[in-house]
Structure 1
Amino acid sequence: MNKKRYILSPITGIIQKIFDIKNPIINQKKIIIHSKKKIIVSPCNGKIKNYYPKKIKFIIQSEYGAQILIKNTLFKKKNQKYTYIPINKESINTYAGKILFLINSTSLHDQSIYLQTTVNITCKKKINNLKKKSHKTQAGITALAFI
């Protein structure tokens, strides 16, 4: 009996689109989430392969063979300043729900930072959807897909 392995949402927000990328050898899924939250967590247990704190981007190799790329695009006002706070500096092992980034606005009065998070899942096994588009997600709690 195979055990389902879940991939959780890395950020609290609303799912905009879910794409199935056609490839006969490797299964791929792309999920786009919009958010105004500032905490980004790990979507599964595994090892961080590439970690780009300045670009708010990382690749996780999960324990069960899936490779997950989390890429964040930051939308802000013209003169608004912000800081990235990478939480996971030394450890390359991670677990589902572990905080990887915090984003802070340096202005006390203006907290309007907007993120578009793209989750690319690549795996040799079949990737199944749990959520449809236009659903709310909670970081580290809501399952996006399972393998």
Structure 2
Amino acid sequence: MAENGATAEGTGQPPVQMNILGQFIRDLSFENVMAQKGVGGEVQPDVNVQVALDAKKRSTENQYEVITKLTIESKNKAGGETLFVLELEYVGIFNISGVPEDQLHPFLLIECPRMLFPFLRRIVSDISRDGGFPPLNLDNIDFVGIYRNELARRQTPADETVN
């Protein structure tokens, strides 16, 4: 008979546990360039979203800080004028245990941002709406793809990029 919840099935590893201890906006900037410059008439927005991820160990055991940085720029398709720029740094504090050391890095940069994404999406929607634009509802972000791209970028030898 198996012990009740003592280890992950058949691996001898303790079960993975993740708790979100807190989350907050570390930095937020919204510029309504359209209003400042007086851009008028019919606009068709073209939105560019850039995502950067970072994680670091906190001084308390099993606690980690995961940072998601968004830079969103909306331009008018017709003339290329910038409509707005939104920069957001959102932080989650996690208590994580039971994750093998070799899997901790991808766990922090994939699973943790995935858990925070609905909150991030809501903030972006509210800020864009409150800034005078229709609410911007972000599409799902492929955190696995971002992680893989960053690994590939780091593995590219520096001498290939400098000629």
TM-score for both structures, normalised by structure 2: 0.28
Identify the structure with the greater strand proportion. 1
Q: Greater CA radius of gyration, 1 or 2?
A: 2
TM-score for both structures, normalised by structure 1: 0.30
Identify the structure with the greater helix proportion. 2
- The answer to which structure, 1 or 2, has the higher relative contact order (CA under 8 A, 6+ apart) is 1
